[in-house]
Structure 1
């Protein structure tokens, strides 16, 4: 059974032939999901400003992974939302460790979103932006060797010149977003916006998301709560140092299917 719990007046999926909040046994369409997760539109006559959202999955006991991967705690609808969020984004920002653990590949163009992306002035698929201080990357992977849209590498000004050169030779575009070895989150957001990427999506991992939270640059969190318990010592969806004062986010929409909750929260 699928249910919608409306929170705002925002367009969200509704039950087939019924009112919002009623049960619906059909699969949500990609168009409905795209409307439910649409990026905020700029004010009339205004410029589009960067909007950074994260998409993560967590078990009931707070695990973001099982055996190092998120797939075991996910489900088919979570993956449809995952694909929809990618299709709406200009760029997907991800940490180098997550690239290694999850075996990241280039984002693909999807026929269902081709017209909408063209109308929005977007490339056929979002670019992947890998955050790495060390640039210890396997540049032979398809993510670097054969992307539809050139992969970006975000790093600091102190990155090893030979590794910067190697990444560029492999076809990646290296973007400096910090004065030291690492990336400064606010600099990364600005640098991506300067490249025309204002609809930003991050898929973590937990360390990167924790850095974005601590820097105060995260505008939105899309989180799937999986009805599973894993125990163990898996990471939470965000790690690293705690913030001085907990940041408050407001619930925008909440979808439910077979115990999985798909929430969308925005910074207040």
Structure 2
């Protein structure tokens, strides 16, 4: 039986199939030379945790009970629509250590049924470009990127360690300077990627990248899965960890779905939001 979920907004409540729900957004068609389409996704508990952190080692982990088959399928549909995946050095370090799975290719997982064909049918190359954002430039490069023929850019700030910039350039990678300090800045990164013809950009780089894209007014859409459980814990990561966003943090709900059958029946909300640049002042 095909997995179903309930669309609560917009319109009257209606059951829809999970497969294809996010493909119907056709994100790869929404970007342009004037404005690349930048989207991010997160999975959160009701108390705002996206990951728990071990106070002793500083290592982070995705808690059990946040991700479901429905969420993973929708994540893969977002991935399938990207010209470019923007990740970060921390993810590559965790990947090399075996703490996280490799999600930098389309169509590799069982849940990705039909997504490689969908990319081909919609004029997208077999695999997206990958951008690694890093201030320190200390990370291993996974073999899977070369094995699948993916173009890779490394993005950093102007104050990044020059010896590390030289290291990656000597290894044959194009290093993009996208920020005045050591960290990558959203607007500067988009200028570099726009010049290279990339139009649909999926952020897999965590809270810091979300923060800079919001502050620079460059985020086009935020997808958020909310698991109906409280995690607690004194050491954790949330979607943002910087100073107050003010107007840059105002969002408007675009759609809301509900799956009551996930996570042992506790369920999840699946929502997406867009910046509310012209909304009333609060």
Q: Taking structure 2 as the reference length, what is the TM-score of the superposition?
A: 0.78
Contiguous gaps of at least 5 residues in structure 2: 54-59, 108-112, 261-266, 277-282
Determine the C-alpha separation between the residues in 1 that align with 2:33 and 2:217.
21
Q: After superposition, give the CA deviation of every residue in 1:235-264 in whole Å (9 maximum; x if it has no partner).
A: 111221222336321111111112201101
Shift of 1:214: 2.4
Equivalent pair of 1:69/1:101 in contact (CA under 8 Å): no
Determine the C-alpha separation between the residues in 2 that align with 1:52 and 1:62.
22
* Alignment match, 1:13: none
Determine the C-alpha separation between the residues in 2 that align with 1:157 and 1:166.
15
**CA root-mean-square deviation:** 2.7
Equivalent pair of 2:186/2:212 in contact (CA under 8 Å): yes
SS of the residue aligned with 2:85? strand
* Alignment match, 1:90: 83
* Alignment match, 2:264: none
Determine the C-alpha separation between the residues in 2 that align with 1:187 and 1:54.
18
Equivalent pair of 2:134/2:156 in contact (CA under 8 Å): yes
Q: After superposition, give the CA deviation of every residue in 1:188-240 in whole Å (9 maximum; x if it has no partner).
A: 01111111111011123122222222222212100000112110131111221
Determine the C-alpha separation between the residues in 1 that align with 2:28 and 2:120.
18
Does 1:22 find its partner at 2:14? yes
Q: Which of the residues 2, 7, 24 maps onto 1:4?
A: 7
* Alignment match, 2:227: 226
Equivalent pair of 1:210/1:241 in contact (CA under 8 Å): no
SS of the residue aligned with 1:245? helix
Range with bigger deviation, 130-139 or 104-113: 104-113
* Alignment match, 2:105: 108
* Alignment match, 1:237: 239
Equivalent pair of 1:104/1:143 in contact (CA under 8 Å): no
Determine the C-alpha separation between the residues in 1 that align with 2:82 and 2:164.
28
Q: Are the structure 2 counterparts of residues 47 and 95 from structure 1 closer, same or farther at C-alpha, using a change threshold of 3 Å?
A: closer
Shift of 1:2: 2.2
Matches within 5 A, 1:44-83: 49-67=35-53, 68-70=60-62, 72=64, 73-83=66-76
Shift of 1:21: 2.2
* Alignment match, 2:280: none
Contiguous gaps of at least 5 residues in structure 1: 9-19
Shift of 1:117: 2.8
Determine the C-alpha separation between the residues in 2 that align with 1:157 and 1:147.
30
Determine the C-alpha separation between the residues in 2 that align with 1:248 and 1:51.
18
SS of the residue aligned with 1:197? coil
Matches within 5 A, 1:188-199: 188-199=189-200
Aligned residues between the structures: 250
Determine the C-alpha separation between the residues in 2 that align with 1:135 and 1:176.
12
Shift of 1:48: 6.5
Range with bigger deviation, 200-209 or 85-94: 200-209
Determine the C-alpha separation between the residues in 2 that align with 1:33 and 1:163.
38
Q: Are the structure 2 counterparts of residues 120 and 161 from structure 1 closer, same or farther at C-alpha, using a change threshold of 3 Å?
A: farther
